[in-house]
Structures are given as C-alpha cells and as structure tokens.
Structure 1
Amino acid sequence: MSISPKKYTLMVAVLTSFLTPFVGSSINIALPSIGNEFTTNAIILGWIPTVYLLSLAVCLVPFGRIADIHGRKRFFTYGIIIFTIASFLATLSFSVQMLMVFRILQGVGCAMIFGNLYAIIASIFPASDRGKALGITITGSFLGMFMGPVLGGFLTEYLGWRSIFFINVPLGVLATVAVTRIEGEWKEAIGEKFDIIGSIILGFSLIMLMYGLSNLPEIWGFYLILGGILGLTIFYLVESRMISPVLDVKIFKNWSFTLYNLAAFISFCSAAPIVFTLSLYLQYIKGLDPQWAGIILSVQPIMMTIFSPLAGKLSDITEPRKVAAFGMILNTMGCTLFAFLGEETGLIIIIIGLSLLGLGFALFSSPNTNAIMNTVESRLYGVASTTVSTMRVLGQMSGMGVVLMVLVLIMGSSTINPQDYPEFVTSARISFLIFAILSFLGALASMAGGNKRD
C-alpha cells in the first residue's frame, strides 16, 4: 500500500525533529561525566549546550533565506547530513574545546533543518489540518527530549558519554534516505539576491549578546550586551530598507505575529535551562547516577509527548492563543515550585514540578506555532517558519545566558564541589524565579495576540 505525500512528510518531520532534542537533552545528563573527564568547571560545562544554540541562532535566518532562494528540501537534506557527520566527529573528541567545535557544527546542521521544517509542513498541509500536523511533528521533538535523559543516562552510565553522539549516526542516515523520497521542492524567492551584509550584522550581534551575558558582572560584559543590542537595532534599520533582505522585518508590523513570537521566545527562554540545571542538581546535590537522573527528568518530555498531539488538534477547533496562554500559566506554576528548591527537597516535588512544566509546554508549543502560521499569508510561510525557529533558539540561548550569568554571580568560576553546593542551589533558585516571572509575561503576550492576519 502506497503512503500518501502528507503521511510521508509527517514521518520525515517526526524523525528529524526527534534527532536534535535527543542529543540536546542527553548531553545535559552527560555533562557531569564530561566535566570529570576533562576536569571542567560549571561555567565551561554550560557552554557545551550554549555554543550549539549560538551557532543555531546565528545560522537559522541566513540558511532559511538561502533555502527560500535555492530550495527548502535541498537545504533540509544538507542539514541532516551535516548534523550526522558532526555527531560522529563528536565521538572522537579528546578535549572540551574539540567537543565544542563539533557542537557548533551540529548547530549549523540543525539550522538548515529547523529553518525549513515548519515552512514545508505549512506548504503541504491546509490550515484546517495544520495544527494537528504541527502537533504530531512537535511530538517527535518531545519524544527526543524524553528519550534523551532516559537513554542518554543509560548510555552514559554503561557506555560513556560519547555513545550519546554515536547513536545519532544511524538515525541521521535513515533520515537522509527518507527525506530524499519526499516529492516536490519550494523556492518562493528563486532568483533573488542573498543579503550577506544583514547576515553578518545579525551574526555578530547575537554573538556579542550571548558572550556578554555569560561574562557578567564584568564591565566588558555589559559593553558586549550593549553592542549586541545596538547591532540588532542596526540590523532592523538596514533590513527594513533592503529590497531582498535576509529577514523581512516588516512582518513584525503584524502585531499578532510579533506577540506570538514574543511568547515563543519567553517560553523557550525558561525551557532550555531546566534540564541543564536539574541534571546538575540531581547528580551533584541528590547524588543520583546519570541513569536515575535521566529517568526522573524524562517525566517532563513524557507529558509533552502524550499531550502535544491533543494540544495541536485542540488549536484547530478553538483559539490557539488561549490554549497557549494556559500552557504558559502551568509553566509559571512549575518554575515557581522549583524556585523553592533546597538540598532536602524530595524527589516527589521534582516530579510534580516536571509534570506541570511538561503539560505546560505541550499546551503551548504547537498551538503557538499554529497561531503564528495562521497570522501570515502563504507567501510568508518561509519567513514565518524561520522567525519562529529563531525566536525559540534565541529564547533557549538567552535562558542559558541567564543561568550562566547567575552561576558566575553566585559561584564564580569554581567547580561544583560539596563545599559549593549551597551556592549552586541558591543560583538554581534565583534562575527559576526569573523564569517564573518570564513565563507569566509569556501568558500575557499569548492572550494579547489577535486571531486574524493584520
């Protein structure tokens, strides 16, 4: 029996959306083992997931634009290949610096994947089925987040941290073969010029922002942040006057589109550091091995995997913004609970908090994406897809920046030793309090968005 193009596309979308969150969540479980092997402090460990997010953020918009010109499916395929090669090379790392280089290469590959994934789905599925399709696709991401801590903890415990990268290789090969069987190509901007100047300005601005955040409270950290903000301002002014911009910033005049993207930014700002912080907390403070820490952390993605398809379908029959806003309220509750973490906090409290966050992110993610895609015309699907992916990555990157900043302010550059446990717990509590406040603001942004194209 032949498989319809829509079902085949969903199969590929689920597989590719599984890969990157899997390695992202599994590497967080492996960080203490990596730190022990390379004798690395908590700040450097934080940069292992951060450099990946930074390279992803820098490359998303330019590669999304190049794909609009030369073909989304082509660059989607290139992204899977690069990610697979980088995963294999990461298994050969003999220093933390070498590992970071291959994490950067993974980010480049992921930029090619996620700069095109939602646009391809929006191009194939009509608005009446789009929420359900996005919900199924995002379920693949949540399944990767679920398998990351569980399988990553098992692999780290028994085969070493390098095995979490190697397992991506056969999956990447399978995804590469599968995506070549999708029929069709999409080139909405064929023949247009690529904006190199805008891409360079955006890239340097993001690098200055992230590096500045991680180097607070040093005075030059503030200067870098100001430079990054100035760079983004210049980027907006330059792009608004370009005939063929790398990012059509005029789309942000659509206030519904802008508010929903702001909500996405805030959501992923609070999401990214949760596994990083709690992985260190469970293994250092609670004394759990990687396998058990992974099992506990899997509670959140299990909830996401179960409820994400339901949330996507729900967003097709009711206002997506209301579903997304309720999800952000649950996130606020979960982060608030973790703001009271202590060395004696019971594991049941951790599980309850992760359950709230898992359900919250499930109810937010696909309805938010559906709401964003519904606010633009079909000719802007590529821009909208790139923008929502960029907002999410910028959110994750900024969230890690906040955590690194708090760690530096509270702990300095010391490694996490028993005498430093109280300072680490304090930094975790401060971080979660910040994310609770941001999540509440994200709920307000979701509700403030409209329902129609402006």
Structure 2
Amino acid sequence: MNKLRGNPWVTLAVLSLGFFMTLLDLTIVNIAIPDMVDHLDASLDQILWITNAYTLALAVLMITSGRLGDLIGKKNLFLYGVALFTLASLACGLSQDPAELITFRAVQGVGAAMLLPQTLSLVVDVFPPGRRGAALGVWGVVAGVSGAAGPTVGGLLVTRLDWRWIFFVNVPLGVLTVVGAALWLPRPARSVRHRFDATGVALSSVALLLLAFGLIEGEKYAWNGWIWTVIGASAVAAAVFLVQQRSRQGDEPLVPFSLFRDRNFTLMNVVGIAISFGIVGLFLPITVYLQSVLGYSAQKAGLVLLPLSVGTFVTAGPAGVLAERLGGRWILMAGLSCFGGGLAWVMAVADVGRSWTGVAAPLFLMGMGAGCTFAPMAAEVMRNVPPRLTGAASGVNNALRQVGSVLAGAVVGAVLQGQLASSLEEQAARRAGSVPPDFRASFLRGFDSAGRHLDVAGNTPGTRLPASVPAPEAHRVQDAAAAVFGHGFVDAMRPTLLVSVAVMAAGALCCLFVKKFDGASANPHGLPMTEEEIAAAQAAAEADAAPARR
C-alpha cells in the first residue's frame, strides 16, 4: 500500500474525489429549493442565503487557503478541509430550521475553501510537464461534470429520498477521501520556514466579504445608499490590501504581484470569472423554468439537465490534452462561444408548454463548451508559475472564479427580479379579463410586487382564495395566475440569459490576447525562479527526454 503513496495518478484520484464534492455542492442545492421551502418554512431570502453562504465563504477564504497550502503543507490543508467539509455536510442534513442550515452551509464553504486550491496546485506539483496535459484533462472532466451534474444528482436524491440527502451523500465520499489522502497523498515537504501574512489575510477577507455581501444583498435593499456604502468600503479595503501587499513583495506576500506579470495568468483569471458567471447565470433561471413553468418534478428537471453533464464529459478530457500540446487559446474561445451560443439557443426555444426536448440540444452544446474551458484554463493559468507559488496562484484563480459566481448571482438575480416585476404586471393586465369580476382587483394587486416577493412555485397573494369560493371560479383564477406566471417568467428569462451571453462573449474576446503557446516547457515570463526550482526543472526535462534518447 505504501507503494501507492506519491503515485501521481493515485494522488489525482484522491484529489478528484474531494474536488468533486465541493463543486457538486455549488449547484446541487438549486434543484432542492422548492422542497426546502416546504419543509423548513423558509422565506425566499433565507433560501438565497442557503445557497450564497457557501459561495461567500469560498470567495472570502480561497486566496488565504491557497497561500496556507504553500506555507503549512498542501496535504495537511487538504485533509483538514475535507474533514471539516464532511462534518459540516452531516450538520447541514440534520438542520431543523433555516438559520441552522445557513450557518452550516457557511462552515461547509470554509472546508471547501481549505481543500479546493490544493487540488490544482498538487496536480501541477506531482505531474511533470510531459504528463500534465492528461492529468489536467481528468481534472477538467471532474470540474465540468461535478458542477453540471449537481441538478441531476440532486433531483434524483430529492425525489427518491429527501432534500437532506443532497448533504448526506457527502459523508461517505468525505470519509473515503480522508482515508485516501492520509494513506496516499505525498508527504508535505518543507525545507524553508515561511512567514504568514496575517494582515494581508485580514484585509483581503474584509474586502471580499464586503463585496460579496453587498452584491448578494443589493437587490433585497433596492441598491440603496447603505448597499453602496458597503461596496465602497470593500473598494477601500481592497486598495489598502494592495498597498500593503506591494510593501511585502520581497517578504512572502499573500498575493505575489509577479504572477500578474504573465499576461496569460491575468487573462485566464478574467476568463474564469466569465465561465463561473455563465454557469450560475444558466442554473438560476433554468431550474425555475423547468419546475415552476413546465411543472416538472425535481427528478425530471434534473434528468432534463443531464445533456449538460454528457456534453461536458465528452469534451473535457480531449480538451485538456489538446491544450497542453497546442495551447488553450482557441480551445477556450471555442468553448466560451459554444456555451454562449447554447444560452442564446435556450432564449430562442424556451416558452410555456414546450417539451423538454427543445432544450436538450442547446444544453448539450453548452456542456461541450464548458468541457472545453476547465482544463485549458487550468493549463494556461498555471503554465508559467514557479513551484513555490502554485498554491498562491491556485488560490487567486479559484477566489476570482467564486467572485464571478457571487457577481452572477447578484446581477442575474437583480435582472430576473426586475424583469419579472414588469412582465408579471403586463401579463396580469392582459389576462385579467378571464378572471371573475369579483376577484379581478385582488388578482391585479397580487402581481403588483410579485417580482420581488414571488416564491419559487409562482404563488402570489392575489391567487390564494378562501375555501368558500366555488370550484369553477377558483379554477379560472388559478389558471389565469398560472398563465401569467408562465408567460411572465419566460419574458423575464430571455433578457436575463442575454446578460450571461454578453459575459461569455467578452470572455471569448479575451482569449484573442492570450500569448501564443511555445511548448509544454514554456519559459516563465517575468516569474523569477529560485536556483532550486531551476535545477528541479532541468532534472525533470532530462528525465522526460531520457526515454527518447534510448
């Protein structure tokens, strides 16, 4: 069994299992929202925080955790993160009210933030350049499939078992990962004593926390002065953080500025934000559309989204290998274009009363596009990073991707709610003639502020009738309300998806400025290496070349 310790493929398998759990939990909760509303008696705002508490903890702590992996050992932090994530998942499943669930979701996010940056960093550390493309291909498959499979897996668990099982499923996976990591991950090797930038950690955490909180809560408070004060305070904290980091560049900073001397590293972080934005921008409206407009169960909605996972699985592996051999520029551009094109396709075909078959092809196209992004982006963002900075680089990249997720949730949620408010009022006025006169006024009033207060089932105050109302009249009101919500939501979903299409197009354009690929052992541009790293790189190159000479 000790022979497996340090084997790069065994290391990759263990890392992938932990990676899979954390990304699955980014999307699996969406499909369970209706059931959580019913069983926990949760408000819409509380439900949003059940989702956002996890993302918020990820975004705030990712940079810190990436750097901590460099300082105290990546294996150690990965193990601690998986253990905390597993225990928090159990606590989430046992939660009895929304407040408990929100709290334990935040703890889950802390565990995920501890382990997530270590996965990409360790893959780059243990695989030599010649075999890194295949490894990143596997990593890309896991990254793509785990996020895309969340609604499908969640739908099956919610329908067959209970919403709590979307969290309980992590417990056996977490135990397996902890055991595998303890037995088979390479032992941490630290030959130099490192310093920990506590001031940088505090400043970056405050900046990201305020930014994420302001974006998440902005729509709830109608983007009033208080919200802009919070976002402004985030900008001030970020500016102070950058000044503090500039003064520490020669003394192990939290964010080494030398990373951004490489244009590809900078551009790949922008692309990562776009990819995260597009994925969140799809799942939020599409899950409501499938369940509340088309009336599908959680299981059927999850199965309808299965083509997304299949498409990702088809392209993720080959995309990683091709990116390592040819460079990721054109593969990334094709992936972003396919994802954006699929979103536009959904905009064109989505309507009330349509069959699920109409969205199957665009979802498959989006999956193929997503599969073309994860591994190539990872290859390009880490290609020129010296070994001592892989944890910091991975932390920065993952943190910015989570900021993209938070930004998407805020922007997409705000656009959807704003569009929904106006479209529901318009549809209600158009269809009020079919409502019995005695109920027409309350029917119209019920949709006046429905865009802000609508629950996920499409219920509004004006459609909740006393039991004494005759059945024929009640049915007329309910049918009219269903038509208003269905057509109103579709009308609001189209401009909402258009926002994500525009972001994906901007990400694709960024790929035009990626530097041309010069080979797997591309020389770092502006990223200084120590003498030990240069010697290790030369030894690795000679080892890779030895079979060819023989």
Correspondence 1:311 to 2:319: yes
Equivalent pair of 1:43/1:413 in contact (CA under 8 Å) = no
1:256–1:34 CA distance, 2 compared to 1 (3 A): same
Q: Which residue of 2 aligns with 1:283?
A: 291
Match of 1:198 among 184, 197, 200: 200
1:180-199 paired onto structure 2 within 5 Å: 180-186=182-188, 190-199=192-201
Match of 2:336 among 321, 328, 341: 328
Q: Which residue of 2 aligns with 1:439?
A: 504
Q: CA deviation at 1:227?
A: 2.5
* Structure 2: gaps (5+ residues): 422-450, 460-480, 526-550
Q: CA deviation at 1:285?
A: 0.8
Q: Which residue of 1 aligns with 2:538?
A: none
Match of 1:414 among 432, 454, 473: 454
Q: CA deviation at 1:38?
A: 2.8
Q: Which residue of 1 aligns with 2:395?
A: 386
Correspondence 1:262 to 2:267: no
Equivalent pair of 1:67/1:187 in contact (CA under 8 Å) = no
Q: Which residue of 2 aligns with 1:229?
A: 235
1:33-432 paired onto structure 2 within 5 Å: 33-145=35-147, 147-186=149-188, 190-214=192-216, 215-216=218-219, 217-219=222-224, 220-242=226-248, 243-340=251-348, 341-409=350-418, 410=421, 411-416=451-456, 417-418=458-459, 419=481, 420-432=485-497
Superposed CA offset, 1:360-415 (max 9, x none): 11011101110111132333222221122112222112111212322443421332
Q: TM-score, normalised by structure 1?
A: 0.94
One-letter amino acid of the structure 2 residue matched with residue 405 of structure 1 = A
Question: What secondary structure, in the 3-state scheme, does the structure 1 residue paired with 2:254 have?
Answer: coil
Moved more, 210-219 or 170-179: 210-219
1:428–1:387 CA distance, 2 compared to 1 (3 A): same
Aligned equivalents of 1:71, 1:356: Cα separation in 2: 40
1:352–1:339 CA distance, 2 compared to 1 (3 A): same
Equivalent pair of 1:192/1:244 in contact (CA under 8 Å) = yes
Equivalent pair of 2:158/2:165 in contact (CA under 8 Å) = yes
Q: CA deviation at 1:260?
A: 1.3
Aligned equivalents of 1:314, 1:194: Cα separation in 2: 38
Q: CA deviation at 1:224?
A: 2.2
1:334–1:318 CA distance, 2 compared to 1 (3 A): same
Superposed CA offset, 1:168-217 (max 9, x none): 10110011000112253445694222112222222222222222223233
Q: CA deviation at 1:141?
A: 3.2
Which gives a bigger RCO, structure 1 or 2 (Cα 8 Å, sep 6+)? 1
1:376–1:280 CA distance, 2 compared to 1 (3 A): same
Q: CA deviation at 1:252?
A: 1.6
Aligned equivalents of 2:87, 2:20: Cα separation in 1: 17
Greater C-alpha radius of gyration: 2
Question: What secondary structure, in the 3-state scheme, does the structure 2 residue paired with 1:244 have?
Answer: coil
Equivalent pair of 2:66/2:393 in contact (CA under 8 Å) = no
Aligned equivalents of 2:189, 2:417: Cα separation in 1: 45
Equivalent pair of 1:339/1:431 in contact (CA under 8 Å) = no
Aligned equivalents of 2:13, 2:106: Cα separation in 1: 27
1:43–1:425 CA distance, 2 compared to 1 (3 A): farther
Q: CA deviation at 1:41?
A: 4.2
Q: CA deviation at 1:82?
A: 0.5
Q: TM-score, normalised by structure 2?
A: 0.78
Equivalent pair of 2:214/2:230 in contact (CA under 8 Å) = yes
* Structure 1: gaps (5+ residues): none
Moved more, 223-232 or 44-53: 223-232
Number of aligned residue pairs: give it: 454
Q: CA deviation at 1:437?
A: 0.5
Q: CA deviation at 1:337?
A: 2.2
Question: What secondary structure, in the 3-state scheme, does the structure 1 residue paired with 2:94 have?
Answer: coil
Q: Which residue of 1 aligns with 2:473?
A: none
Equivalent pair of 2:272/2:397 in contact (CA under 8 Å) = yes
Aligned equivalents of 1:188, 1:61: Cα separation in 2: 20
Q: CA deviation at 1:345?
A: 4.3
1:228–1:422 CA distance, 2 compared to 1 (3 A): farther
Q: CA deviation at 1:263?
A: 0.7
One-letter amino acid of the structure 1 residue matched with residue 407 of structure 2 = S
Correspondence 1:449 to 2:454: no
Q: CA deviation at 1:145?
A: 3.4
Equivalent pair of 1:46/1:404 in contact (CA under 8 Å) = no
Identity of aligned residues (%): 27
1:223–1:343 CA distance, 2 compared to 1 (3 A): farther
